[in-house]
């Protein structure tokens, strides 16, 4: 017992010492989701990709608005239809002091698609490409078909040090042994579910971050995360809930940053079954699938008051959507705008389609995936009920929802008739949602992988195919815009509702440059001038 006293005394002194040290050199962060690993090739997942940006460099990196800018490659260009050339940056060193060369790139591209037990690998971005070292600072990548998305694909892959990562397992990264990159921060310690500590890399080739150390704590619960910021326990949080945005903006001790994200929230409707499970007549009798009729889909779109959803449910933290990507993104159509709220027009269209008295419809969505997802679905339910489509709103956790929405029906078909989902374009351009959500479902060709409504418009498929083979940026952008117009305006394959806005908050005196890819990185957190 006598021994304990000095120990406790010492511990108390130590803990006070630590508290006193929390100064301008340290950034304390509360994140809504932590990475599942710091191995940047293990899991293609938002939090992992975001964390990797702090530790690892890429050949090209996406800036706040997902435009490509040079990172470890100083330039990239197609040298013929099938080959791209990447000129690498010279004089860059890894965290362990070894130099960065083409060998590291070749090694990275070999490892990235082949990480054992990866829950979602990067093979999608690397498959079908051959990488060749030309000299120490030149790499060629070739494909068998013209492939315009080469730079976008390559920009997703974090570059590893061959010396440190050869033969390393995912666990070696989490222990810090193999987590050697060229990024602005070095990894110090990662205790899953508890903390992740980074330290400034003094040998970083670019602009060095302000923070000597960064301590990251996962705080999943929204109100708790906000409370941690308000209580001064952390300096920086991500995923600020919409309900708190207005207050935090008004709070003099807090600074808020917002950025429209690449994620569109939309409704997907069963467009392939003659009889759809969730739609019944007004007396519960079986009816033909009304959603097959584009007029019914149009009616639903007109019935939705997007401004009301944005203003009321999202508390202003979203932007009404009329297509797949918000302003400023590549491949967006200039001719599409959000469908205006027109309940009378909607009723007329319903009557024309043969449903003057509407029908009954169960609508489904997740309740823990997108910002305010369940409340949005409820508002949609209210709005379509007002034009005669008597809605029953069913929400469920994403663990249950996505499996059923993708393959819960007979023969692994999508189970539901109308769902609320979202799509973020990782590459920051329109081919991603077009290919995955709207192209005719073709398992083997990798088209329509997330086309849960099985929308099919051959005209659009044709234009999209052309776009995906056009290397010229200007030409491709026009084709993507055309494909978008066909899918939305002509066949209304999905009903876009709004684009999410991502919100971050810092304590007073700091700023963060919000990112459209929803990623939270620490090197752009700065002291306000």
Partner 1 sequence: MKPEATAEASAGGGIAPAPAAAKVQTPFQRFAADFLESRIAVVGLVITTIVVFIAIFAPLIAPTDPFDLAKVDVMDNLIAPGDKNFAGDFTYVLGTDGSGRDMLSAIFYGLRTSITVGVSSGLIALALGMSVGLAAAYFGGFVDTLIMRIVDIQLSFPAILIALVFMAVLGPGIDKTIMALIVAQWAYYARTVRGSALVERRKEYVEAATCLALSHRRIVFRHLLPNCLPPLIVVATVQTAHAISLEATLSFLGLGVPQTEPSLGMLIRNGFDYMHSHKYWITFFPGVALLVTIVGINLVGDQLRDILNPRLQK
Partner 2 sequence: MSVFIIRRLMQSLLVVVIMSFLVFMAIYQIGDPTDLLVSPDAPQEEIERVKRDFGVDLPFHEQYFKFVGKALQGDLGNSFVMNDPALQLILQKMPATLELAFSALFLSIVLGIPLGVYAGLRHGTFSSKLIMSGSILGFSLPTFWVGLMMIMIFAVYLGWLPSTGRGETVEVLGIEVSFLTWDGLTHLFMPALNLALLKISLVIRLARAGVRETIHMDYIKFARAKGLAYRRVILLHLMKNIMIPIVTVIGLEFGGLIAFSVITETIFAWPGMGKLIIESILLLDRPMVVAYLMITVMMFIVINLLVDILYSILDPRVRLQDVKS
What residue ranges bind partner 1 (CB under 8 A)?
222-223, 226-227, 230, 241, 243-244, 246-248, 308-309, 312-313, 367-368, 374-375, 377-379, 381-383, 385-386, 390-397, 399-400
Closest to 482 measured CA to CA, from 468, 495, 500: 468
Cβ-defined contacts of 33-36 (< 8 Å, 24+):
33/218, 33/220, 33/239, 34/192, 34/193, 34/196, 34/216, 34/218, 35/196, 36/119
Report, in Å, the least distance between residue 35 CB and partner 1.
23
Q: Which residues contact 14 (CB under 8 A, 6 or more apart)?
A: none
Minimum CB–partner distance for residue 303 and partner 2 (Å): 27
Among 41, 58, 217, 306, binds partner 2 (CB under 8 A): 217
- Report the partner that residue 116 touches, choosing among partner 2, partner 1, none (CB closer than 5 to 8 A by kind): partner 2
Under rule CB under 8 A, residue 74 binds partner 2: no
Residues 6 or more apart whose Cβ sits within 8 Å of residue 271: 291, 292, 453, 454, 455, 456, 493
Q: Which of 81, 110, 136, 233: binder of partner 2 (CB under 8 A)?
A: 233
Distance CA 501, CA 1 (A): 56
Query: How big is the chain by its Cα radius of gyration, in Å?
Result: 25
Q: Select 335 or 399, whichever has its Cβ closest to partner 2.
A: 399
d(CA 75, CA 72): 9
173 membership: H or E segment, kind and range: helix 170-174
Q: From the list partner 1, partner 2, none, pick the one residue 312 interacts with, judged by a Cβ distance below 5 to 8 Å according to partner type.
A: partner 1
* Minimum CB distance to partner 2, residue 173 (Å): 10
- Per rule CB under 8 A, is residue 21 in the interface with partner 2? no
DSSP string of 363-405?
A: EEEESSSSTTHHHHHHHHHHHHHHTTEEEEEEEE-HHHHHHHH
Which residues, in sequence order, are CB contacts of 319 under 8 Å at separation 6+?
Answer: 260, 310, 326, 498, 499, 501
> Please, what is the minimum distance in Å from the beta carbon of residue 372 to partner 1?
8
**Under rule CB under 8 A, which residues in 363-422 are in contact with partner 2?**
368, 397-400, 402-404, 406-407
Nearest distance from residue 292's CB to partner 1, in Å?
A: 24
Size of the site for partner 2 (CB under 8 A): 66
- Interface residues with partner 2 (CB under 8 A) are 7-8, 11-12, 14-16, 18-19, 30, 36-37, 39, 42-45, 116-121, 123-124, 170-171, 174, 191-195, 217-221, 223-224, 227-228, 230-233, 368, 397-400, 402-404, 406-407, 423, 426, 432, 435-436, 443-444, 446, 449-450
């Amino acid at each position: 017992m006598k021994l304990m006293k000095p120990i406790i005394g010492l511990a108390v002194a130590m803990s006070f010492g630590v508290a006193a040290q929390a100064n301008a050199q340290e950034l304390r962060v509360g994140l809504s989701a932590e990475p599942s690993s710091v191995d940047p090739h293990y899991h293609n997942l938002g939090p992992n990709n975001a964390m990797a940006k702090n530790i690892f460099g890429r050949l090209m990196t996406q800036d706040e608005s997902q435009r490509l800018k040079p990172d470890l490659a100083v330039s990239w260009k197609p040298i013929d239809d099938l080959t791209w050339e990447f000129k690498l940056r010279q004089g860059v060193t890894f965290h362990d002091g070894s130099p960065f060369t083409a060998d590291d790139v070749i090694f990275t591209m070999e490892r990235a698609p082949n990480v054992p037990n990866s829950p979602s690998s990067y093979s999608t971005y690397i498959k079908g490409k051959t990488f060749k070292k030309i000299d120490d600072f030149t790499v060629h990548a070739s494909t068998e078909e013209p492939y315009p998305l080469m730079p976008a694909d390559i920009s997703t892959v974090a570059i590893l040090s061959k010396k440190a990562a050869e033969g390393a397992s995912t666990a070696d990264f989490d222990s810090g042994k193999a987590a050697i990159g060229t990024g602005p921060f070095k990894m110090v310690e990662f205790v899953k579910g508890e903390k992740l500590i980074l330290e400034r890399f003094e040998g970083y080739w670019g602009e060095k971050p302000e923070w000597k150390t960064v301590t990251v704590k996962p705080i999943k619960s929204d109100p708790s995360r906000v409370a941690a910021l308000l209580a001064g326990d952390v300096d920086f949080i991500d995923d600020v809930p919409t309900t708190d945005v207005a207050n935090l903006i008004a709070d003099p001790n807090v600074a808020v940053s917002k950025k429209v994200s690449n994620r569109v929230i939309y409704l997907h409707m069963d467009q392939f079954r003659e009889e759809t499970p969730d739609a019944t007549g007004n007396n519960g009798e079986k009816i033909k699938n009304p959603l097959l009729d584009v007029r019914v889909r149009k009616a639903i779109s007109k019935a939705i008051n997007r401004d009301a959803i944005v203003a009321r449910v999202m508390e202003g933290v979203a932007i009404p959507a009329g297509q797949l990507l918000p302003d400023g993104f590549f491949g967006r159509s200039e001719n599409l705008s959000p469908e205006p709220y027109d309940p009378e027009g909607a009723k007329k269209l319903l009557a024309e389609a043969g449903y003057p008295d509407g029908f009954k419809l169960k609508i489904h969505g997740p309740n823990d995936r997108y910002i305010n997802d369940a409340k949005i679905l409820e508002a949609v339910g209210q709005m379509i009920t007002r034009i005669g489509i008597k809605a029953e709103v069913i929400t469920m956790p994403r663990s249950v929802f996505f499996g059923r929405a993708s393959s819960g029906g007979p023969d692994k078909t999508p189970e539901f008739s109308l769902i609320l989902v979202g799509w973020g374009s990782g590459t920051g351009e329109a081919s991603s949602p077009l290919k995955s959500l709207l192209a005719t479902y073709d398992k083997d060709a990798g088209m329509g992988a997330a086309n849960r409504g099985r929308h099919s418009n051959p005209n659009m498929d044709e234009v999209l195919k052309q776009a995906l083979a056009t290397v010229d940026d200007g030409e491709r952008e026009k084709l993507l815009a055309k494909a978008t117009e066909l899918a939305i305006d002509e066949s209304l394959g999905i009903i876009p509702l709004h684009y999410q806005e991502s919100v971050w908050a810092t304590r007073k005196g700091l700023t963060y440059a919000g990112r459209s890819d929803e990623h939270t990185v620490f090197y752009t957190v700065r002291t306000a001038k």
